[in-house]
Structure 1
């Protein structure tokens, strides 16, 4: 008599197509049996319900797609990132935040200081404030959390500062933080997709 093979472990999968930024609820999940030999690294099972429910997706998932830790905000954001990268939440202008999605590559710029008026207040007296400074190159957008009253990923209103989570080189993180520590808001310059090898 042939022995009965062990039952495949249950893993969590999306019950429907879900957009990036979606906050997971029990109705969004189904449990599917998946043989351990074909389960992806970081696959989430019913034992992970506490960490999954209420978590935000960092990218869209298709109906039936298995969930892994790399799809959720939190420690999984840096899964697969090059060594020396750190995750950093930075404030950006509302219009800037509307341009980016998780996975985009961006340069991070610190805008110049506001122009100074001369004592007479004339337009001709505006002093040049200088050019924007690039404080991080080739950063990757990890997450664009929803703001209160927003539409999912974007801040409410066009000009309200929002927050974007970026993967930046550890050496650049201090420069980015120095700008934000003084109350400055950053600008993200969206880079074109990398050319295929």
Structure 2
């Protein structure tokens, strides 16, 4: 018996070429056939690209921050600042006050933000500072005490006749300064108002004896107030002309 033969598969049907020219396989045709054969792979790549684009659009951009120095712990008034007392922190530029202390390595950043205090090591804070609080030049003893005061204001130290009055004072407390003069046995025979409603800038009671600002006998009854130039002249050396008293203004 003669073995049966399987007929070869029929060739795919093609449209007749009426032009008489041999058919050419164009690049567009080859691309189309490649895409048809790999349509699942192409669809997967397009889905991955779309997902990546969506994630990129939904991911928030990194916020713009500025590095400043904040208190690493609660600092008492009068404490001398060391490297361990302040730590850098990145905060929004809109939350940075004028005169904020910046790390020493951020000299270029300090130049970009005028008013930034420098050379803070060894400086003493004028009042208590909470942990995490941004430290500024107004927080330090010195010219920063007059930040926000009217133009021309001057810091004047006074020594009070009654040192216990200092315990009633706090930063920003308004006081009227009175000078008592005369040789009366029961007290001064004449009183003169030297300044009215001037703010207190600093007292040793705020710094505390443990701060080590100055020996206690040197700061006993000492207070620093802000005054206009004319009043500052009257206040300077008032304690040698008589006894200085304060009236607390509400």
Task: Report deviation, 1:65.
Answer: 0.8
TM-score normalised per structure 2: 0.59
Aligned counterpart in structure 1 of residue 132 of structure 2, from 50, 57, 64: 64
TM-score normalised per structure 1: 0.73
* Corresponding residue of 1:111: 180
* Corresponding residue of 1:9: 66
Quick check: which one's helix share is greater?
2
Q: Is the 8 A contact 2:204 2:219 kept in 1?
A: no
CA deviations over 1:80-112 (Å, ceiling 9, x no partner): 111232111222242222322222111111123
CA deviations over 1:147-194 (Å, ceiling 9, x no partner): xx934489737x9744221101211111112524x36452222222xx
Q: What pairs up with 1:1-197 in 2 under 5 angstroms? A: 8-47=65-104, 51-93=119-161, 94-115=163-184, 126=185, 129-145=188-204, 150-152=209-211, 156=216, 161-180=220-239, 182=240, 184-192=242-250
For residues 154 and 101 of structure 1, what CA distance do their matches in structure 2 show?
19
Structure number with greater CO (CA < 8 Å, separation at least 6) is 1
For residues 161 and 19 of structure 1, what CA distance do their matches in structure 2 show?
19
Unaligned runs of 5+ in 2: 1-55, 105-115
Instruction: Tell which structure's C-alpha radius of gyration is larger.
Output: 2
Unaligned runs of 5+ in 1: 116-125, 193-197
